[in-house]
Amino acid sequence: SLSLRPPPPRVPRKNIVLEPPENDGRPAWNSKLQYILAQVGFSVGLGNVWRFPYLCQKNGGGAYLVPYFILLILIGVPLFFLELAVGQKIRRGSIGVWNYVCPHLGGIGVSSLMVCGFVGLYYNVIIGWSIFYFFQSFQYPLPWAECPIRRNGSLPECEKSSATTYFWYRQTLNTTSTIADSGGLNVKMTLSLLVAWIIVCLAVIRGIASSGKVMYFSSLFPYVVLFCFLVRGLLLKGAVDGIAHMFTPKLEKMLEPQVWREAATQVFFALGLGFGGVIAFSSYNKIDNNCHFDAVLVSFINFFTSILATLVVFAVLGFKANLMNEKCKILGYLNANVLSHDLIPPHVNFSQLSTVDYAEIYGVIKAVKEGSFSELGLDPCVLEDELNKVQCVCTGLAFIAFTEAMTHFPASPFWSVMFFFMLINLGLGSMIGTMTGITTPVLDTYKVQKELFTVCCCIIAFFCGLLFVQRSGNYFVTMFDDYSAGLPLTIVVILENVSVAWIYGTKRFMQDLEDMLGFRPHAFYFYMWKYVSPCCLIVLIAATVIEMAISPPGYNAWVEELVSQPSYPPWALAMCFSLIVVAMLPLPIVFIARHFNLMSDGSNKLSVSYRKSMMKDISNLEEVDETRFILGKNPGETPSPKPPSQAYLGLPGTNPLENPNSLSPNSCYGTSYQNAISPQPPPPLSPPPPLSPTHDHCPSSSCPSPSLTLNP
């Protein structure tokens, strides 16, 4: 039949290329600024304010910035660019994207959604804590400025710790001494959590139409507060000492593997990789948006924010550490003539006592009073020791160390209100991205009412979140933070990387980017995606597993005035590992189900814009040799009737003539797009010759060549 009906003459396609309509029914960002602020609000969160400064101080100060920046370039920017690109090209949420790239690995999107759910449950609890402190800040003096006084005297529990620590553990959380003792619901925290979920629900109820407007404030306001705190902090006595300590590099730390592991983990979570929020936000972009520029811009805004927050935190902590001369006894001994004023160097001014001056005085007294020095009971009051006392039980820096420093600020209630309002906005931006990572894939896959589904999600999440507002809830927050996201998200991201770079093909992906962006990304990304990033992620997974194996799981418990570190009981230990298993369970389930044809590949739910884009790709196959995109063969070579599994991203299928309802177990791409789309080709300039009826349902082995089939 091929010899009887020669193909019609070629017609230039530039006059009849089908362009997708501007409005394809999918919501879109009102402006590029709104989109950038949404991505910044999602990636810049509470971890930038308290986790990055702690890691920087713990791992060598300025020396920590070197591995962090290197890993940001090797892992952060390339993988962030990858997620932006696939979301923008396919215009779907996380489930839809990975169903189309590789249906066998479609569980990536489901695992990503489940991790978003776990993280959203406890992350909003932290916003609830911030809301409670925000309302407590409208009083003077601040309620955590000093220990409460009872009729029978002060509280020993408060005196032996500190006023801020007591307020956090006893008056805010009213925490129990063990995770096994639930203690019942904490009413104040329950109400705070309810307010937090109402705020989140109102922000995301209409999708990006509502959340995009919220981002204008929630993303920009924290920078205003951080700059105000930086200016105020630099005017405090001792602030420069804190910043100098922060950025004094301890180069020997760079040789420790633990430093690199923690830097990689922080890069990984700082950008929100694997959560699905990045893909969901980018799916509302125009197809020709320059997502490469977006990836670089947002990554470095995130890095800049971490540095800015570190400057603020250690300027304030330097001021706090320099208040130690009020606790030390040298001045008291001088006034009581226990120590002679001759021991004090003439250049020392006690009204502006620096860390260096105090260390000099301490050394002189220790040398002169060598025999009776221990009786004086002097505190060394070393700045580094004070700064090293900063806790990282996730919330210790924000709710204990920073709040204590603010009690010494002039107009302390004003600064406290600003600080906790900033935390609320930082958390809200991240929660909007997290909720979008949950709702967008479901709304893309199932036709449900957006507002109703969003409200139901928030109500269910509130009731599940009651676990975290028991008196023992703080321990469960720590558990979920340690186990629900770390390892599962790392595995999700490496599978994303492998599915694009090795299964789909890096060369094809680079060609897709060139068609989408109008230019070919630098070869740097080719090697990062194909080799460097997967290797780094494999090392990170191995290091995480080893760390979990050698370090017994435990938590920080508040027992009277002391913080102890008991191990989890057996039931809690089982809960820790069940979080990991449940989050990763969709990966093998979806793979097995699709391998044995027990589950559809999901390609019958293509977005409208993706269908239009695919029709455009089909119409261009005559002008560009289709074997280059579909079969990967040399031009002019006869295509085989059954092409291999890899296909052009614009065509998420194999041979269009194959049975649309079948999914080959050896294929990693959807095969039912023809049935799902039923595209109407553009009208030809000249009537095509009639097709033989035998071609409508011919077997794969006898189908005509793709050029005849795809030609309208």
Cite the annotated binding site for Na(+) by residue number.
41, 44, 48, 302, 426, 430
The residues facing 149 across adjacent strands are 154
Q: In this structure, what token pair is assigned to residue 564?
A: 């102890």
Question: H-type helices in 249-370, by residue range?
Answer: 257-270, 277-282, 291-322, 330-335, 355-368
Distance of CA 115 to the CA centre of its chain: 11
Q: What is the signed CA dihedral for 546, 551, 553, 555, rounded to 10 degrees? A: -130
* CA geometry: angle 285, 290, 293, nearest 5 deg: 120
Q: In this structure, what token pair is assigned to residue 292?
A: 């490469």
CA distance 164 to 228: 23
In SS3 terms, 428-439 reads as HHHHHHHHHHHH
Distance of CA 584 to the CA centre of its chain: 18
CA distance 699 to 528: 42
Backbone φ, ψ for residue 564 (5° rounding): -105, 170
> Which one, of 342, 336, 319, 485, lies nearest residue 402 by Cα?
319
> Which one, of 2, 274, 253, lies nearest residue 119 by Cα?
274
> Which one, of 650, 608, 611, 680, lies nearest residue 25 by Cα?
608
CA distance 38 to 277: 10
The residues facing 153 across adjacent strands are 150
DSSP 12-73: -GGGT--PPPS--SS---S-HHHHHHHHHHHHS-HHHHHHHHHHHHHTTTHHHHHHHHHHII
3-class SS of residue 563: strand
Count of Cβ atoms closer than 10 Å to residue 150 Cβ = 9
* CA geometry: angle 628, 632, 637, nearest 5 deg: 75
DSSP 74-116: IIIHHHHHHHHHHHHHH---HHHHHHHH-GGGTHHHHHHHHHH
- Residues annotated within the binding site are 41, 44, 48, 302, 426, 430
The single-letter code of the amino acid at 433 is: G
What counts of helices (H) and strands (E) characterise the chain?
34, 4
Q: In this structure, what token pair is assigned to residue 638?
A: 């006869």
Q: For residues 270 and 306, is the Cβ–Cβ distance under 8 A?
A: yes
In SS3 terms, 515-562 reads as HHHCCCCCHHHHHHHHHHHHHHHHHHHHHHHHHHHHCCCECCEEECCE
Identify the burial level of 701 via C-beta atoms within 10 angstroms of its C-beta, where 0-12 means exposed, 13-18 middle and 19 or more buried.
exposed
> Which one, of 362, 381, 269, lies nearest residue 323 by Cα?
381
Q: For residues 243 and 315, is the Cβ–Cβ distance under 8 A?
A: yes
Count of Cβ atoms closer than 10 Å to residue 277 Cβ = 31
Distance of CA 293 to the CA centre of its chain: 19
Q: In this structure, what token pair is assigned to residue 61?
A: 């100060």
Q: In this structure, what token pair is assigned to residue 229?
A: 């705190």
β-pairing verdict for 149-150 and 153-154:
antiparallel
CA distance 179 to 566: 10
